[in-house]
Amino acid sequence: MTYRAPLADFRLLLDRVLGFDQVAATALFADAAPETVEAILTEAAKLCENTLAPLNRAGDKTPARLENGVVRTSPGYSDGYKAITEGGWVGMSANPEYGGMGLPITLATCVNDMMGSACLALQLNPLMTQGQIDALEHHASDEIRSLYIPKLISGEWCGTMNLTEAGAGSDVGALRTRAEPKGDGTYAITGQKIFITWGDNDFSANVCHLVLARLPDGAPGTRGISLFMVPKFLPKPDGSLGARNDLKVVSLEHKLGLHGSPTAVMQYDGATGWLIGEPHKGMAAMFTMMNNARLGVGMQGVSVAEAALQQALAYAQDRKQGRTPLGEGAIIDHADVRRMLAQMKAETFSARAIALACAVAIDMARATGDAAWAARAALLTPIAKAYGTDTGNEVAYLGVQVHGGMGFIEETGAAQFSRDVRVTAIYEGTNGIQAMDLVGRKMMDGGEAAFRLIDEVQAAAEAARAEVPDLSKDLWTAAEALREATEALVAMSGHDRNAGAVPYLRAFARVLGAHYHLAAALADRARMPLTRFAIRRLLPEHAALLAQVREGAEGLYALTPEALGL
């Protein structure tokens, strides 16, 4: 497949829809001037189109493998990683004090979008490192920051996070990995972790693992967990590498997709580690990395959606079959194929807009210290992650469908998108967990952040009433229904909220997506047909979703195992 970066969509969203100019107007991000943004997007597009995209099929056909304890990566991945690091792309948003560019998360998110479309399996590596850099900047000691962050930014070292254990899964508090003080300021880490993305490789000098473990006096559950830096090689004070640490890759998982990304089972046998943050406060530190990764993973869903859309559109324009309302021609002229392609495009744009709106909020919160921006970023993070990855899965599914029988044949590459993107709805917190976070933690303010966002949607719809009365009315009405459902949700018990969490998140995304589509169409009239499709054909789903929210939990628990036929 020939991938082309969606630069026009980035420019439209940043310049005319999401208000990125307010980010660039802050003192912290004053360097993010329009000419700088244009140069970054253009150069990143070249990297992704010319260097990374050709690696995507190679990683799928020749997976990473474990040979005599050494991870061998897919053909070309070493060169691709080198190109990423030499361009400085890993540390785009990292602190300049340690060698980063100090650019907005919004720009880094755009670049990650392009990299994920080009080669998702490889892009996972710098994404994990970026999350680790963020966690260390916020929680590590000065000594750890000075030693590790420059190496991570340069790409000389890579970063991972180690949460999951067999038998614990999403219940992180059930972990059994332990940390024993060694009396010299370090700790002996012992235990096994599973599902460790890029747990090792053959192209970086060191792999730095952030590992959750429990100290001897740690309380049960998540309150007693601490976080430790456990590198593959023990660094000396000058940053050179010393002895190999007591850790190893036990095996690599055999996965549905993302074959080029080695997912490891890691064993720690008294490995030397350093405490990150305060004892027993590891979850707070790890959540910094996880929240960074959640936005990144949401954009990974968008990435795959974009790639699947581009391939399906090219195929539909080339494949000739049957008679259409427009005469003899390609299958894109069949109504249902046109419908599928329009849905793919509309959903991808909505999910990209929501993810970048989240990134803008993160940047504004960081640059201004405004609690309202921080609350918006927190609210949008689970929506960006869940809706973005649901979109990736749904668009990849439609991409296979557009190809017809050829979509089921591996040689076309359409199936790889479906296989690769499937896990994004699972890792970094399943989408059900994201939805419960939205209706739980993110509504602890009584829905204030949600209501502020709904107010903006309705104000924009009202302002557009003179130009597009039908579309603005539909959007305003949907936003009002979302407001009323949010009021009802806030009054519910947590049990009932959780039962309607997934449809609530989806309905919120539907309204936000329509809002950003309308703003885009008002900025560029050529987009009006797509906006009309999104508002008239996709937005109405919100009503059925919000009806589910009001049902609560009782009906679900009436469905006993016996009622389900088990």
Could you count the other beta carbons within 10 Å of the beta carbon of residue 448?
14
State yes or no: is 38 an active-site residue.
no
Give 97-151 as a DSSP string. GGT-----HHHHHHHHHHHHHHHHHHHHHHHHHHHHHHHHHHHS-HHHHHHHHHH
The rounded distance, in Å, linking the Cα atoms of 110 and 114 is 7
Could you count the other beta carbons within 10 Å of the beta carbon of residue 317?
14
How many Å from the N-terminal Cα to the C-terminal Cα in the chain? 45
The rounded distance, in Å, linking the Cα atoms of 233 and 533 is 54
Q: Please report where in the chains the tokens 């991972």 appear, as a residue.
A: 160
CA 333 to chain centre: 34
CB 473 within 8 A of CB 465: yes
Phi, psi of 527 (to 5 degrees): -90, 0
Residues 6+ apart with CB under 8 A from 153: 90, 91, 94, 98, 99, 100, 133
1, 409, 505 from 406: Cα distances, Å: 14, 5, 34
CB 293 within 8 A of CB 406: no
20, 349, 374 from 248: Cα distances, Å: 44, 42, 39
Which residue among 306, 347, 394, 428 is the active-site one? 428
Q: Please report where in the chains the tokens 């849905």 appear, as a residue.
A: 343
Q: Buried (b) or exposed (e) across 177-213, using 16+ Cβ within 10 A?
A: bbbeeeeeebbbbbbebbbbbbbbbebbebbbbbbbb
Strand, coil or helix: 496 = helix
Q: CA nearest 511: which of 539, 551, 546?
A: 539
DSSP β-ladder status, 263-276 and 187-197? antiparallel
CB 25 within 8 A of CB 87: no
In this structure, what token pair is assigned to residue 207? Answer: 């792999």
Residues 6+ apart with CB under 8 A from 39: none
The rounded distance, in Å, linking the Cα atoms of 549 and 155 is 45
Q: Please report where in the chains the tokens 């690091």 appear, as a residue.
A: 85
Phi, psi of 256 (to 5 degrees): -60, -40
Active-site amino acid positions = 428
